[in-house]
């Protein structure tokens, strides 16, 4: 079967492309290489350099006929989305509309959509299941929820099936080291910790140690990107088999605190990783942990690599060659 992966040269997208290839799919990657890397492209996948903001480029690539499409091309920094909502609206919402309209015209369905736990906002209960209220607190989360709403209407009006996959905190790298590109100017905890470990950054700022958590620092549900990628294949196959759309959380269901992550990183890297306790970051909830029981029940999805030591060690393998001191 042929699958089109839009945004397949990015951090998560390249792992998703790898998973579909490993399952024997014929993969085409469509990417503008704005945040993705050419070095993340695979020999056994076709690559089309294009931009979702150009409907004619989408029309051209979709003319190839596909059994489904994975859409991961979006801006994803929550903090930046509050400063530049126009850029996020254009890329994440208008870009998605272009994809849906061209996919509809080309008769491509299902759409597997990279959504986010950010659609929930602050947790009203834990663990967060798919029925939790959707009250996003950053514009990034709003854009993801808006696209989910579009998908629901395209399903109802056009029969375009979809799977919306709500990622919790994606981390780690391919255990076989097949993904080469390092995120530039990362905003997320683990890559920042690694930049401190190799000397790219001087120290880590720990955003708050006065939260009502076991050690006072923020707790998140980190899920290995390869576990995430595998779920995209099984979600695609589920939607095709049942001709029924799906919305699922993907998280490890275990919480790790910032201080615990730093401690494991020091132990595994052997580097000091200096850290300074700072004030809380605006908009950060104390704790976010997923319920992924729906993914387990419907897809049989069980994370294999999402333990903290595998997350840290696979990321360290990517960074250790960049030690600058
Ligand atoms: C994790 C924890 C911080 C950096 C964001 C997006 C979310 C999703 C995942 C896409 C928090 C703490 C972080 C640092 C720190 N993205 N931290 N010092 O905020 O949980 O979620 O990324 O889908 O939409 O909002 O991830 O990695 O920024 O933070 O102390 O330098 O690490 O306070 O507790 P977050 P994060």
Rounded Cα gap, residues 19 and 134, in angstroms: 30
| Confidence (pLDDT) at 265 | 98
Catalytic annotation, pick one of 11, 140, 167, 238: 140
| Residue appearing with tokens 């919402």 | 93
Q: Which of 218, 250, 255, 262 to mutate to test the pocket of ligand 1 (most atoms within 8 A of CB)?
A: 218
Q: Which residue has the higher pLDDT, 282 or 192?
A: 192
CA of 243 relative to ligand 1 center, distance in Å: 35
Q: Which of 139, 169, 312 to mutate to test the pocket of ligand 1 (most atoms within 8 A of CB)?
A: 169
Rounded Cα gap, residues 117 and 214, in angstroms: 22
Domain that holds residue 39: 2-171+222-250
Average pLDDT over residues 277-283: 93
Q: Which residues line ligand 1 (CB under 6 A)?
A: 76, 78, 116, 118, 140, 167, 169, 187-189, 192, 204-207, 218, 220, 258, 281, 284
Of 63, 51, 65, 64, nearest in space to 98 by CA: 51
Residue 325 in this model has a pLDDT that exceeds 80:
no
Query: Would you call 154 a catalytic residue per the annotation?
Result: no
Query: What is this structure's pTM?
Result: 0.96
pLDDT band at 322 (very low <50, low <70, confident <90, very high): confident
Query: Same structural domain for residues 24 and 132?
Result: yes
Q: What is the pLDDT of residues 64-97, one digit of tens each?
A: 899 999 999 999 999 899 999 999 999 999 999 9
Query: Same structural domain for residues 138 and 209?
Result: no
List the CATH number of the domain containing 229. 3.40.50.720
Helix (H) or strand (E) holding 55: helix 55-62
pLDDT band at 324 (very low <50, low <70, confident <90, very high): low
Instruction: Give the atom of ligand 1 at the shortest distance from the alpha carbon of 204.
Output: 31
Any domain includes 267: yes
Cis peptide before 127 (omega within 30 of 0): yes
Query: Same structural domain for residues 233 and 276?
Result: no
Any domain includes 295: no
Rounded Cα gap, residues 216 and 257, in angstroms: 8
List the CATH number of the domain containing 260. 3.90.25.10
CA of 157 relative to ligand 1 center, distance in Å: 36
């Amino acid at each position: 079967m042929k699958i089109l992966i839009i945004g397949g040269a990015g951090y998560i997208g390249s792992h998703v492309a790898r998973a579909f290839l490993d399952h024997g799919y014929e993969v085409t990657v469509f990417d503008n290489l704005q945040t993705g890397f050419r070095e993340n492209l695979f020999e056994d996948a076709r690559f089309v350099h294009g931009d979702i903001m150009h409907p004619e480029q989408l029309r051209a690539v979709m003319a190839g006929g596909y059994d489904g499409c994975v859409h991961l091309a979006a801006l994803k920094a929550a903090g930046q989305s509050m400063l530049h909502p126009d850029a996020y609206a254009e890329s994440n919402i208008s870009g998605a509309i272009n994809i849906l309209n061209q996919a509809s015209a080309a008769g491509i369905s299902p759409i597997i959509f990279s959504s986010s736990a950010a659609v929930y906002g602050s947790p009203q209960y834990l663990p967060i299941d798919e029925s939790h209220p959707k009250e996003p607190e950053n514009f990034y989360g709003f854009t993801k929820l808006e696209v989910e709403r579009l998908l629901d209407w395209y399903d109802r009006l056009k029969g375009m099936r979809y799977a919306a996959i709500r990622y919790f905190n994606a981390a780690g790298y391919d255990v076989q080291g097949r993904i080469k590109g390092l995120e530039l100017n990362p905003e997320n905890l683990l890559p920042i910790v690694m930049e401190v470990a190799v000397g790219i950054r001087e120290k880590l700022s720990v955003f708050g140690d006065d939260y009502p958590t076991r050690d006072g620092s923020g707790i998140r549900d980190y899920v290995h990107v390869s576990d995430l990628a595998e779920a995209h294949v099984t979600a695609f196959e589920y939607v095709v088999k049942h001709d029924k759309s799906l919305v699922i959380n993907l998280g490890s269901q275990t919480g790790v605190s910032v201080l615990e992550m730093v401690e494991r990183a020091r132990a595994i890297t052997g580097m000091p990783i200096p850290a300074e306790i700072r004030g809380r970051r605006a908009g950060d909830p104390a704790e976010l942990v997923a319920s992924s029981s729906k993914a387990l029940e419907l897809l049989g999805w069980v994370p294999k690599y999402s333990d903290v030591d595998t997350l840290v060690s696979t990321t360290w393998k990517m960074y250790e060659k960049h030690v600058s001191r």
